[in-house]
Amino acid sequence: MKHVPGSLARVTTARSEVRKAVLSSDFRALFQTLTRSAVASSLGLAAGCGATTTPLDPEGPRLDAAARLPGPWVRHVCSEEDWQWPFEKTNLVTPVDYFAVYEPSFRPEQDIAADGGAPPERLPPQVLHGSACAGASQPAVCSSAIERELAATECAAKPCAKFVLATAGDSVLRAEHSALSVLLGAVDTETEALIVALVERGGVSCWLGKQVGGTVVFSSGSQVRAVEGGYEVQTSLDCYGKLSSGTTLVHADGSAEVLSTTAYCYGRRPDGLLAQVPCKARSELGAHFASAMHLEAASVFAFEQLADDLARLGAPNELVRGALRSALEEVGHTQTMGALAVRFGGELAAPRVVPPPARDALAVALENAVEGCVRETYGALVACYQAQAALDAQVRAAMLQVFEDETRHAELAWSIARWLEPRLSEPERRAVQVARGAAYVQLCRELESSLSADARQQLGVPDASIGATLLTQLDAAVGLRV
C-alpha cells in the first residue's frame, strides 16, 4: 500500500466512514439537508468545485464565472442566402478573398497500404467567406494550388484533424489548428473564437431562430461570449443525446480546451444513444423540457441494458429488479417531462438507440460509476433543489417526483458498485476510480448554465456558485471521487 502521511490518512479514513454511514442509511435525508441550506441562501456557500484540488484535477475547474466576469452571450447568425459567417467581424493578419475549413481526405489505412486502394473520400469544405481564388490574377493556377494542397493530405483514422485553406490574391494559405494564429493573429473577436472552436472540435453551427407569427422558434446553434483571457463558445449540436451541448474555451493565443459536452441529465444515458434532429420550441422552457423528455426516455433503454447486464453477470435478484423498476420509473419521468414540454411549446422526439454488444463486468462498472455514482447522484440532488426552488408550481411538483425516484436510482448505483467492483482486478478498480474522478471534474465544468436568469428561476436550476457548493458538499459526504 502506498504510504499516506498520518493526517491525510486520518482524513481519508474518516471520510470513508462517513461515506459508509450515508450509503447504509438514507440518501434522501442527505439531499434534503444539503439543498435546504442552499435554497435558504441566495449566495450559497462560496467554496465551490475549485476549493480543493486533487491529482485528478491539479488546476481545479477552468470555468469560474465570478472570476471571469463573462460578457453577454452573442448568437452566431450567418447569412441566410449562403450560410457564410459574419467575416467583417474578424481582424485577420492578412485580408483574404476566401476562407474555408477542410477535413483531410479519408482513406482507411488498409486501403492506403494496398495497391490500387479505393480513392480517398473527400468531404466538401465548410466555406465561411468568399469564393476560392476570387481575387487571383490567374484563377486556374490558384485552383491547381488548392488541389495540390488537398491531394497531399490523407487521413487514415477518423476523426481527422481539420485545417483552414484561404486565398488572398494569388496566394493560397494553409493553416492547421496549431498555426491558426498565422491567419488570425490574436483571437480578439467573437467570429475568430468561433473559427478556432470549429477547427478544434467541429460542431459550430449557425443559429436557426426565426420569427414565426411574432414568436421566436428556437433551434440549434452556437453562441459566444467574452470571458477573462478569451471567449467561451457554446454549441447545441442537437437538443438531445449525449452531445446535447458543448462548451469550448478559446484563449486569446488561439489555444482551446473543451469544457463540457453534455447538458443537465437526471437519468442514465445509454450506450448507443444517437444524436437527434435539432430541437424546436417556442421558449427556453419548451426546449429545456423537450431535451429532458428525450433524456428521460433514453434512460429507459439504459436501465433495460443494465438489467440485462446484471442478470448475465449473476448479480443478486434485488439489483436486477431495481434496474427494471428504474426503467419503469423513467417511463413516468418521460411522460411528465413531455407534458411540460408541450405546455411550454416544445417539440417531442423519441430517442434512437443502437443496442450495444453485451458488456463485460468492467464496462458495466465504468458506466455505473460515471452515469450512476456521479452523474445520477448529483442529478438527484439537483432535482431535490429544484423541487424546493422552482417558482413554477407544476415544475416543483414534477421535480419532487423525479427527486424521489432518482434518489432510489442513485442508491441502486452505489449498491451495484458495492457488489460489482470487488469482483474486478486491481487495475480495473483503479480504472473505475479514475473514471469517477474524471466524471466529477467534468461535472464541475458543466455547472455554468446558458439558461436565462428568468428561466433558471422558473425551473429552480441552481446557478454555478450554488451548483459548485452542492457538488463539493456531496463529494465530502459520499466520496464521489474515492
On whether both 246 and 293 belong to a single domain, the answer is no
On whether both 198 and 274 belong to a single domain, the answer is no
On whether both 292 and 344 belong to a single domain, the answer is yes
On whether both 248 and 278 belong to a single domain, the answer is no
**84, part of any domain:** no
On whether both 314 and 453 belong to a single domain, the answer is yes
**205, part of any domain:** yes
On whether both 367 and 415 belong to a single domain, the answer is yes
**81, part of any domain:** no
Among the candidates 230, 260, 290, a domain finishes at 260
Predicted pLDDT at 415? 95
**85, part of any domain:** no
Predicted pLDDT at 198? 87
Among the candidates 162, 182, 202, a domain finishes at 182
Work out the number of other CB atoms within 10 angstroms of the CB of residue 141.
12
On whether both 237 and 223 belong to a single domain, the answer is yes
**75, part of any domain:** no
**217, part of any domain:** yes
What is the total count of domains within the chain? 3
Q: Per the structure block, which three cell numbers stand in for 474?
A: 456531496
**77, part of any domain:** no
Predicted pLDDT at 274? 64
On whether both 448 and 303 belong to a single domain, the answer is yes
**79, part of any domain:** no
Predicted pLDDT at 267? 66
On whether both 116 and 170 belong to a single domain, the answer is yes
Range of the domain at 474: 6-69+268-478
Predicted pLDDT at 48? 36
Predicted pLDDT at 130? 92
On whether both 46 and 173 belong to a single domain, the answer is no
On whether both 148 and 27 belong to a single domain, the answer is no
Among the candidates 210, 236, 260, a domain finishes at 260
On whether both 115 and 159 belong to a single domain, the answer is yes
pLDDT in tens, the chain (482 residues): 333 344 334 434 444 444 444 444 488 888 988 888 788 764 333 333 433 322 323 333 333 333 334 677 787 877 766 677 888 888 888 889 999 998 887 666 555 455 455 566 677 888 899 999 999 999 999 999 998 888 877 776 666 788 999 999 999 999 887 788 888 889 999 999 999 988 887 767 776 544 444 444 444 567 888 887 888 887 654 333 333 456 778 888 888 876 644 444 556 877 776 655 555 677 888 888 888 888 888 899 999 999 999 999 999 999 999 999 999 999 989 889 989 988 988 888 787 777 778 899 999 999 999 999 999 999 999 999 999 999 888 899 899 889 989 999 999 999 999 999 999 999 999 999 988 888 888 787 777 766 788 888 899 988 888 888 899 899 889 988 87
Q: For the whole prediction, is pTM greater than 0.85?
A: no
Predicted pLDDT at 219? 47
